[in-house]
Chain A
Amino acid sequence: MKLSRIIKFIDKEITQYFHFPIPEIISILIITIFSLNTFSLLSHNSLNLEHMTGGRLFSIYASSKVIDTNINRFLHSLGLCNINSFPVLLAVVLTALTIGEAFEKGRAVTMLSYPISRIEFILNKILTILIVLMVCLIMPIVLVMLSVFPIRGVLIIGLLGWCWSLVMFVILTSLMAITFRRSLPAILTTLFISFFIELLSTNLGTMHLMYIFNPSEVLIGYFYPASLSGLFINMPDIKDVLLSIGTGFLVLIGCTILLVWRIKNMDVK
Chain B
Amino acid sequence: MSYIGCNILKLKYPFFNVSSKMLVEVDKLVKRYGRTLAVKEVTFSIGNEVIGLIGPNGAGKTTILKILLGLIKADEGRATIFGRDCWEDSLYIRQRVGVLHEKIYFFDQLTVERYLKFIASLYDMEINELEVFRILCELGISNVRDRKIGTLSAGELQRLGLAQAIIGRPQLVLLDEPTSNLDPIGRRDFLNKIETLHNDDNTAFLICSHVLHELEQICDRFIIMHQGRVLAQGVPSEISEEYGLAGYEVVCKELEGVKRKISRISQIKDVIVLSRNSLVITFDRKAKLEVKNSIEEIKDEIIEIREVSPPVEAVFKEVISRG
Chain A residues 86 to 141 lying within 8 A of chain B, measured CB to CB, are 105-107, 109-117
Interface-central residue, A109, A113, A117, by most chain B CB under 10 Å: A113
- Tell me if A110 and B71 are in contact (CB < 8 A): no
- Give a binary string over B68-110; 1 marks a CB under 8 Å from any A CB, 0 the rest: 0101110000000000000000010011000101011100000
- Give a binary string over B95-137; 1 marks a CB under 8 Å from any A CB, 0 the rest: 1000101011100000000000001001110000000000000
Chain A residues 220 to 245 lying within 8 A of chain B, measured CB to CB, are none
- Tell me if B69 and A113 are in contact (CB < 8 A): yes
B side interface size, CB within 8 A: 18
- Tell me if A265 and B73 are in contact (CB < 8 A): yes
- Tell me if A268 and B66 are in contact (CB < 8 A): yes
Residue A267, interface by CB 8 Å = yes
* Identity of the chain A residue whose Cβ is nearest the Cβ of B100 in the assembled complex: A113
Give the docked Cα–Cα distance between A251 and B103 (Å).
Answer: 38
- Tell me if A114 and B72 are in contact (CB < 8 A): no
Residue A269, interface by CB 8 Å = yes
Please, which residues of chain A bring their CB within 8 A of the CB of B104?
106, 110
* Identity of the chain A residue whose Cβ is nearest the Cβ of B174 in the assembled complex: A113
**A contacts with B: majority SS:** loop
Interface-central residue, A107, A111, A114, A267, by most chain B CB under 10 Å: A114
Please, which residues of chain A bring their CB within 8 A of the CB of B71?
109, 112-113, 267-269
- Tell me if A115 and B72 are in contact (CB < 8 A): no
Chain B residues 135 to 179 lying within 8 A of chain A, measured CB to CB, are 168
- Tell me if A117 and B72 are in contact (CB < 8 A): no
A115 vs chain B, min Cβ distance (A): 4
- Tell me if B101 and A106 are in contact (CB < 8 A): yes
Give the docked Cα–Cα distance between A142 and B90 (Å).
Answer: 44
- Tell me if A107 and B123 are in contact (CB < 8 A): no
B85 vs chain A, min Cβ distance (A): 15
Please, which residues of chain B bring their CB within 8 A of the CB of A107?
105
- Tell me if B73 and A116 are in contact (CB < 8 A): no
Chain B residues 4 to 19 lying within 8 A of chain A, measured CB to CB, are none
- Tell me if B101 and A109 are in contact (CB < 8 A): yes
- Tell me if A105 and B105 are in contact (CB < 8 A): yes
* Identity of the chain A residue whose Cβ is nearest the Cβ of B164 in the assembled complex: A114
Which one, A106, A115, A267, contacts B122 given CB within 8 A? A115
| Known contacts A105-B105, A113-B94, A115-B122, then 11 further A-B pairs from the complex at CB < 8 Å, ordered by chain A residue | A106-B101, A110-B101, A113-B71, A114-B119, A114-B123, A115-B95, A116-B94, A117-B91, A265-B73, A267-B73, A268-B71
